[in-house]
């Protein structure tokens, strides 16, 4: 199949479509046998709450250092479910393929999706594939939707940040956005920056199990970066959030790339990061627990809730000044996820 490409017929619903599904997509993603393939997946469930989320992925380029559009599409939806405090349960996948996409590339993407789903412990239970004529799409777009179940009674949310709470992140910021940018034509940096794309649901599950109601907010700072996410939380909770610039974890490579391009890592996207706001008295223990996880080795406290207001975010700069932080305006980097 290696020399083959996606043809319009692969989206016809006819023989070619079935071949693509049976030979490539289903064996890689779900392995559901033909006799069990129906129009909808029927899933058993327990509990009285369900988390439900959807996201579409149009990242350009589709392969980038440390990942590709496939694992990104699984990790993103898994993380969105985890941020609601839910255990990711099942995922749907919708593909829009451009005529001419190489089937070898598609297979690589499918394999990454499978690995990402296995790592997160989530099943891909239903899907759809459409093909658009060459020039009407861009290689591959993926939509994933997911449902998650709850194994606890904790209710987290952006409006629950309270004065005195600490803001914690599980590692360095800005890696994904800079990985994408650095892999675009003409902007290669000497030291490759890899995406941080990964699922963090296992880390969230442990946090909630250990600290329960002391965990007030969970958010993944994707597009718009940490700055935009914290601004959203500050408005939702009507509080001031103050960060210390010297506490922000930024790798030397990301900092250097941002400096060259005039970007601020606080506004650059992440795809494997967890921002959590917790009661002050458990903050150190939360950091310690996170650091024991492979997904949280770089965990640290980056700020705190400093007062009640209509929602302001500040940074105490390294040299002792102070600046306010607004949401990202316009596009900093288009098509990063």
Partner 1 sequence: MSDIVKGFRDPQVAKDLVAEIHKAVEGFDGTMVLMEVCGTHTMSIYSHGIRQLMPKQVKLISGPGCPVCVTSIGYVDRAVALARRDNTIVTTFGDMMRVPGSTTTLNHEKAKGCDIRIVYSPLDAVEIAVKNPDKDVVFLGVGFETTTPTIAGAIVTADKKGLDNFYVLASHKTMPEPMAALTADPELQVDGYLCPAHVSTVIGVEGYEPLATDRNVPCVVTGFEPLDMLQGVLMAAKQVVAGTAKVENQYSRYVKHEGNPKARELMYTVFEPCDARWRGVGDIPHSGLQIKGEYARFDAEKAIDVDVEPPQEPKGCLCGEVLKGKIAPQECPLFRKLCTPENPVGACMVSSEGSCAAAYKYGIEE
Distance CA 252, CA 257 (A): 9
x/- map, 261-280, partner 1, by CB under 8 A: -x-x----------------
Q: Quick check: 233 binds partner 1 (CB under 8 A)? A: no
Q: Quick check: 323 binds partner 1 (CB under 8 A)? A: yes
Distance CA 7, CA 33 (A): 25
SS3 string, 109-163, reads HHHHHHHHHHHHCCEEEEEEEEEECCCCCCCEEEEEEEEEECCCCCCCCCCCCCC
State the nearest-atom distance from the C-beta of 180 to partner 1, in Å. Answer: 15
Q: Looking at 46-86, which runs of residues are DSSP E strands?
A: 50-57, 63-64, 67-68
* Paired tokens of 231: 């601004």
Distance CA 185, CA 229 (A): 29
In 3D space, the residue among 73, 79, 71 whose CA is nearest the CA of residue 51 turns out to be 79
221 in helix, strand or coil? coil
Distance CA 157, CA 169 (A): 16
The span of 52-60, 78-86, 275-283, 325-333 binding partner 1 (CB under 8 A) equals 325-333
The span of 9-17, 53-61, 293-301, 310-318 binding partner 1 (CB under 8 A) equals 310-318
State the nearest-atom distance from the C-beta of 264 to partner 1, in Å. Answer: 7
State the nearest-atom distance from the C-beta of 230 to partner 1, in Å. Answer: 14
State the nearest-atom distance from the C-beta of 259 to partner 1, in Å. Answer: 6
Please say whether the beta carbons of 220 and 156 come within 8 A: no
Nearer residue to partner 1 within complex by CB, 33 or 330: 330
State the nearest-atom distance from the C-beta of 167 to partner 1, in Å. Answer: 19
Q: Quick check: 322 binds partner 1 (CB under 8 A)? A: yes
Q: Quick check: 319 binds partner 1 (CB under 8 A)? A: yes
Among 44, 135, 294, 320, binds partner 1 (CB under 8 A): 320
Binding to partner 1, residues 167-196 (CB under 8 A): 186-187
State the nearest-atom distance from the C-beta of 232 to partner 1, in Å. Answer: 16
State the nearest-atom distance from the C-beta of 82 to partner 1, in Å. Answer: 30
Among 6, 198, 315, 336, binds partner 1 (CB under 8 A): 315
Residue 283 belongs to what H/E stretch? helix 283-292
* Paired tokens of 20: 């693509």
Distance CA 246, CA 263 (A): 17
* Paired tokens of 334: 């288009």
Distance CA 145, CA 91 (A): 6
Q: Quick check: 136 binds partner 1 (CB under 8 A)? A: no
* Paired tokens of 124: 């891909």
Q: Quick check: 326 binds partner 1 (CB under 8 A)? A: yes
Q: Quick check: 307 binds partner 1 (CB under 8 A)? A: no
Nearer residue to partner 1 within complex by CB, 113 or 179: 179
Q: Quick check: 309 binds partner 1 (CB under 8 A)? A: no
State the nearest-atom distance from the C-beta of 242 to partner 1, in Å. Answer: 12
Binding to partner 1, residues 242-261 (CB under 8 A): 246, 250, 252, 255-256, 259
Distance CA 108, CA 176 (A): 20
Phi, psi angles (nearest 5°) of residue 125 = -110, -15
Which residues here bind partner 1, judged by CB under 8 A? 186-187, 246, 250, 252, 255-256, 259, 262, 264, 314-315, 317-326, 329-330
């Amino acid at each position: 199949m290696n020399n083959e490409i996606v043809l319009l017929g692969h989206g016809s619903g006819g023989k070619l479509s079935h071949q693509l599904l049976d030979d490539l997509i289903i064996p890689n993603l779900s392995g559901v046998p033909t006799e069990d393939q129906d129009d909808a997946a029927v899933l058993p469930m327990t509990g009285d709450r369900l988390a439900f989320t959807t996201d579409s992925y149009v990242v350009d380029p589709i392969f980038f250092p440390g990942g590709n559009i496939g694992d990104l599409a699984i990790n993103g939806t898994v993380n969105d479910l985890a941020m609601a405090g839910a255990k990711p349960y099942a995922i749907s996948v919708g593909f829009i393929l451009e005529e001419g996409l190489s089937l070898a590339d598609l297979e690589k993407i499918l394999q990454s999706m499978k690995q990402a789903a296995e790592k997160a412990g989530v099943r891909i239970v239903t899907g759809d594939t459409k093909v658009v004529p060459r020039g009407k799409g861009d290689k591959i777009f993926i939509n994933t939707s997911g449902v998650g179940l709850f194994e606890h009674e904790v209710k987290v949310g952006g409006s629950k940040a309270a004065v005195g709470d600490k803001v914690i992140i599980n590692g360095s910021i800005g890696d994904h956005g800079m990985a994408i940018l650095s892999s675009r034509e003409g902007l290669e940096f000497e030291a490759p920056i890899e995406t941080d794309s990964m699922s963090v649901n296992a880390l969230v599950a442990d946090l909630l199990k250990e600290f329960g109601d002391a965990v007030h907010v969970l958010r993944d700072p994707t597009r718009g970066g940490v700055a935009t996410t914290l601004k959203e939380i500050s408005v939702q909770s009507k509080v001031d959030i103050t960060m210390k610039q010297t506490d922000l974890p930024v790798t030397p490579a990301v900092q250097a790339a941002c400096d060259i391009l005039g970007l601020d890592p606080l506004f650059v996207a992440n795809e494997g990061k967890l921002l959590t706001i917790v009661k002050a008295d458990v903050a150190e223990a939360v950091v310690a627990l996170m650091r024991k996880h492979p997904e949280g080795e770089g965990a640290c406290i980056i700020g705190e809730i400093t007062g009640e207001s209509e929602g302001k975010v500040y940074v105490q700069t390294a040299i002792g000044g102070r600046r306010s932080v607004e949401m990202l305006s316009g596009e900093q980097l288009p098509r990063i996820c």
